[in-house]
């Protein structure tokens, strides 16, 4: 097997970690949730042409040019996330509520003159939580024979061909037998980590029949998956904007980003395999169980994954708002956002434990347990990988007006071509997953509409709607062998279109103001515990309820 692996690893030897990401990691960090001040959220985020709100510096920077006084605001609230999963008729539910700090910012407005072309020059800063990852998910059900172990066997079959090759994998790292580290040594660069762990825990085993030797695995009876995610993406915007003749508004925002993401997941299966028939036998890894008449026929395994991502990013946003008619409140806006250039560091590890019940065809023999932990093979206990993500360009057009001096309306459209995102290593070489991004991710269309109307001189009512199209094709899957063979997370989720409905109330005093907003965010997705054409999707309904408060002063 050593010769074969080296042959397959000629191109990988210089950049083995070039297969360390997939389109799913890129997709996760390209998301942009509706969040900010309660006024902004209450109008569904549709304020790009109306402006005069701190959150608009992240959609159309020219909106800050509408300010004619100073402003300071802070926002906080609660998020409740719910998931309902249906796998083969078995339904599960998860519910989690967390407090959140969502926004803080200010605008400093400087009046230049009443008759000069340049009327106001404004400076602003705003922090808001761009993405909230806090959620739990749980699914279980009958596998009807499908199993993650088939995926493991397929991985091993792509780099090995004989029982001797499989034994080489079992022996790697054993002192006195083979001291090559199975996950770091260059001889094993082409072996996916998940397949390696499966082979070394007897979830992949060798078979021999009249046609020769082969690699096979177990039949899955039931599968059970749990995950807990924490963290988010924090966005810090620095804005410069100005007002020309109270009709033309221009702005520029420098955005800085901070990623902090943690995932723990656990996946387990109950397994079985047929007793060998006449003319067939099996190769099992544990010497004391190599006797042909004693074989495992019932088993289970649990795969635990721990994943942490930290990173920073930067982008630039340019925007303008124009009132084409001097005595009309109608205006339209346009904004363009450069890609966000992220530098990200991933740390992850995994542990796989398998348990086998042995019999000799007529009576129970005993139980054997094997555990393989990646932390035993890395100096820092985690696999560490540094890479770069470049998100797509974003374009925003909007139109709005004020009706009768009491009602403000805004509608806008935004487009991002997710398929143009790039993954590269720190040396600038494009990663294999970039091709998966271009093939499976799509252009994302976002529509927003919002309304604010005065109930009295001090109180206002707001409603909004936000729609975002699906970012990924329906038949996309996580191709570990081709894109991220150092990862052991085999699960993936294909989200569909996302919608949010919002409403809010606001109070405006001479100095102080307060706003409250409620957002109901929902979308469906197809979840897969692993990649197998025989595995049906888990149908998932994702919901988020957010209650948001903003306190501020304007002077």
Which listed CATH number (2.40.160.60, 3.40.50.620, 3.30.60.50, 3.30.2310.20) goes with 2-554? 2.40.160.60
Structure confidence by residue, pLDDT tens digits, 139-167: 999 999 999 999 999 999 888 888 788 88
Question: In sequence order, what E strands does 483-537 have?
Answer: 492-508, 512-528
Q: What are the pLDDT digits (tens) for 60-81? A: 999 999 999 999 999 999 999 9
491 touches 525 (CB < 8 A):
no
Residue 63: strand, helix, or coil: helix
Share of the chain above pLDDT 70, in %: 90
Confidence category of residue 539, pLDDT binned at 50, 70, 90: very high
CB–CB of 409/450 below 8 Å? yes
Rg of the chain in Å (alpha carbons): 28
Q: Is the pLDDT of residue 545 over 60?
A: yes
pLDDT at 360 over 70: no
- CA–CA separation, 4 and 119 (whole Å): 73
Structure confidence at residue 365 as a pLDDT band (50, 70, 90): low
- β-sheet with 205-209: strand ranges across: 212-216, 205-209, 281-283
Question: What pLDDT digit, counting tens, does each position of 390-412 carry?
Answer: 999 999 999 999 999 999 999 99
Give pLDDT, residue 364.
64
pLDDT of 9 higher than 80: no
Average pLDDT over residues 364-377: 85
Residue 13: pLDDT above 60? Answer: no
Phi, psi (degrees; rounded to nearest 5) at 254: -95, 120
Q: What's the confidence (pLDDT) of residue 240? A: 98
The token duo for 515 is: 């706003």
3-state DSSP call for residue 176? coil
Q: Is the pLDDT confidence value at 511 over 90? A: yes
In sequence order, what are the residues at sequence separation of 6 or more whose Cβ sits closer than 8 angstroms to the Cβ of residue 85?
Answer: 91, 92, 93, 94, 137, 138, 139, 527, 538, 539, 540
Per-residue pLDDT band at 283 (split at 50, 70, 90):
low
The pairing of beta strand 71-87 with beta strand 538-554: antiparallel
Q: What is the 3-state secondary structure (H, E, C) of 342-387?
A: EEEEEEEEEEEEEEEEEECCCCEEEEEEEEEEHHHCCCCCCEEEEE
pLDDT in tens, 82-139: 999 999 888 999 999 999 999 999 999 999 998 899 999 999 999 999 999 999 999 9
pLDDT at 14: 37
* pLDDT value of position 16: 42
For the stretch 99-111, pLDDT in tens is 999 999 999 999 9
Residue predicted with more confidence, 211 or 369: 369
State the Cα–Cα distance between residues 307 and 461, nearest whole angstrom.
Answer: 43
- Give the pLDDT mean for 470-499: 92
- C-beta separation of 415 from 392 below 8 A: no
The single residue listed with the structure tokens 């084409």 is 324
β-pair partners for 318 = 252, 336
């Amino acid at each position: 097997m050593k010769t074969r692996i080296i042959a397959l690893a000629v191109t990988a030897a210089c950049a083995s970690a070039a297969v360390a990401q997939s389109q799913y990691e890129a997709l996760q960090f390209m998301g942009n949730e509706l969040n900010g001040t309660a006024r902004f959220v209450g109008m569904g985020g549709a304020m790009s042409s109306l402006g005069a709100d701190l959150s608009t510096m992240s959609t159309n920077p020219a909106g800050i040019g509408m300010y004619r006084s100073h402003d300071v605001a802070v926002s906080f609230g609660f998020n409740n996330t719910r998931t309902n999963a249906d796998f083969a008729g078995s339904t599960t539910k998860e519910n989690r509520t967390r407090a959140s700090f969502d926004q803080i910012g200010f605008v400093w407005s400087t009046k230049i003159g009443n008759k000069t072309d340049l009327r106001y020059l404004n400076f602003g800063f705003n922090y808001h939580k761009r993405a909230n990852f806090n959620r739990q998910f749980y699914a279980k059900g009958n596998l009807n024979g499908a199993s993650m172990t088939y995926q493991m066997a397929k991985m091993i079959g792509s780099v090995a061909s004989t029982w001797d090759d499989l034994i080489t994998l079992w022996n790697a790292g054993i002192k006195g037998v083979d001291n090559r580290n199975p996950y770091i040594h260059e001889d094993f660069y082409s072996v996916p980590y998940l397949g390696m762990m499966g082979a070394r825990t007897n979830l992949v085993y060798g078979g021999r029949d009249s046609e020769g030797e082969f690699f096979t695995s177990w039949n899955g009876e039931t599968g059970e998956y749990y995950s807990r995610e924490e963290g988010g993406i924090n966005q810090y915007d620095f804005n410069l904007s100005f007002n020309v003749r109270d009709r033309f508004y221009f702005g520029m925002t420098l955005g800085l980003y901070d990623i902090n993401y943690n995932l723990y997941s656990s996946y387990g299966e109950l397994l079985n395999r047929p007793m060998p028939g006449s003319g067939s036998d099996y190769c099992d890894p544990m010497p004391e169980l190599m006797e042909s008449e004693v074989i495992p026929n019932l088993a289970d395994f649990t795969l635990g994954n721990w994943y942490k991502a930290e990173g920073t990013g930067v982008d630039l946003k340019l925007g303008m708002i124009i009132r084409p008619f001097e005595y009309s409140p109608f205006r339209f806006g346009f904004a363009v956002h450069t890609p966000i250039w992220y530098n990200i560091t991933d740390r992850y590890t995994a542990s796989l434990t398998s348990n086998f019940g042995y019999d000799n065809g007529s009576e129970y023999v005993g139980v054997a347990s094997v555990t393989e932990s990646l932390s035993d093979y890395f100096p820092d206990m985690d696999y560490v990988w540094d890479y770069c993500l470049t998100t797509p360009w974003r374009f925003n057009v909007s139109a709005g007006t004020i009706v009768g001096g009491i009602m403000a309306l805004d509608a806008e459209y935004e487009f991002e071509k997710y398929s143009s995102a790039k993954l590269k290593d720190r040396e600038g070489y494009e990663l294999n997953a970039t091709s998966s991004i271009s093939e499976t991710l799509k252009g994302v269309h976002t529509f927003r509409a919002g309304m604010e109307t005065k109930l009295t001189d001090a109180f206002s009512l707001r409603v909004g709607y936000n729609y975002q199209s699906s970012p990924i094709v329906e038949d996309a899957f996580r191709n570990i062998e081709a894109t991220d063979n150092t990862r052991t997370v085999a699960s993936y989720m294909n989200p569909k279109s996302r919608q949010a409905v919002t409403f809010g109330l606001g109070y405006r005093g001479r100095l102080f103001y307060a706003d409250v907003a409620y957002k109901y965010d929902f979308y469906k997705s197809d979840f897969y515990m692993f990649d197998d054409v025989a595995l049906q999707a888990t149908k998932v309904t994702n919901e988020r309820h957010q209650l948001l408060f903003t306190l501020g002063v304007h002077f």
